[in-house]
Every structure is written in structure tokens, then in C-alpha cells.
Amino acid sequence: MASSPDVPSADSTPENPDPGASSDVPSTAVSGSGGGERRGRVRARRAAVMAVPATLVLAGLAVLTAQGALGVQFAISGMPFTVTATELNGTGFEQFGGLDNMADGSPNAGDTGGQVLVVTSAIKNATLTKLCQSVDLGGTNLLITAGSGAEKVSATDLTTDSTELTGDAAFGNIEIGNDASTLTKAGVKGPIGVFSQQADTVRIANLRQTNYATTAGVFKLPGLKLRFSESGC
């Protein structure tokens, strides 16, 4: 619209770093004392977020802190859900990396610390044809479909936080390599120093996403059907 199992909170930074240590030394090279090893681990875990080129293949890393402005501002359940559409068309497109956080004590946290590394995709105005969304509940799936008739699903100020996205994509007037804090196309700004891209228009055929969160200002779902199903999208 890359997973980092171990992104630390801000208070995991050592309180008394070695003043003689050079900031140019890569984190993988710090391995001397216990404090140095800890500092190296923290730096390595903070090497988080990715660049998403026009092909929508996740690639490249940039530094991200958990305090960044993200597309989602609520505690996620930690249960991924699948979204598919035969076609998505949008105007005002942005994309950058981020971190989503689960509620404290979530049983879905596992060894991730309750954080999921995601790609935030923001679209100012979007339409989707034959939308399908499913959540695996273990033995059954909660299935939602809409937009299969003449009227398409539509959304304004749509954001999705994804760990995987596939499809056949085309962009109009794309800019790749922006600082996420300077994005202007969809009205969403990401964390400063994070690699991002934006475009005037986006079209993705045969869209398939693995998402952890979705938000929208307005979400219209003509022909909505919600049911349990043996299979997902």
C-alpha cells in the first residue's frame, strides 16, 4: 500500500556511552565490553525502515525511532489481515516506513516487543474494485467483501500499514527518495530522516496486501457482506 523482530524503546539506550567511542564505527564492529556490545545491539536494532521503489519491492533501510509520526495512531491487535482488490486507483499517493505498536501485554507480541515494522501507504482519494478482506481466526476466517457490483469501494485519506504488498503498479509523476517528513501529496508526514516516495496518481492491478492496520476519513463499501468462511481472500 520487512519485519524487525526487535526494535527497542528509547530507554534502552545506554545512559553512559563511552565518550571516546567514534560515531563512525559501524554497530556490527562494537563488540568489546558489555556496554559496547549493548550499544552495538541498540544501533543495529534501530536500523529499521525501508525504501519502497516504484516496483513496490521492499528494499533499503533508514533509521527510524518509535517516536516518529506514523499512519496509525492506535494500538494494533497484532493479528495480520489480508486485503485484495482487482484494481486500486488513487490520487495523492505517499509511502514510507514506520512502526506499529500493540497494547501492553498483548498475547500476540511474541518476541517482537509488541512492535511491527510496516510500510505505510497513504492515498488522498482511492477507489477499489472487488475488495476482499479476511482475518484468520484459527479454524475459520472472518471475511468481508464489497464493491463487486457497478459501484466501487471508495475512501478518502486512506492509510494502510503493511508488511507485504504485491500487484502490477503504475505511478504518475513519482518522486523517489524524499524525506518522509516533507511529503505533500496525501497530507500525511512520516518521521524525519526516513526514505519515502510520493506520486500524483497510483494504479495497482491485482492488489494483495498483508496489513496490520487501516484508517480512512471516509470509507464507502457498497454491497458489503460480512461472514465466516473456511477460506480467506
Q: What is the mean pLDDT of residues 132-148?
A: 96
pLDDT in tens, 158-173: 999 999 999 999 999 9
Question: Taking 50 as the threshold, does the pLDDT of residue 23 lie above it?
Answer: no
pLDDT, mean of residues 7-32? 44
pLDDT band at residue 76 under the 50/70/90 scheme: very high
Phi-psi region of 145 (alpha: psi -120 to 50; beta: other; left: phi over 0): beta
Q: Is 27 helix (H, G, I), strand (E, B) or coil?
A: helix
DSSP 8-state code for residue 102: B
**Alpha carbon distance 169, 159 (integer Å):** 17
pTM of the model: 0.71
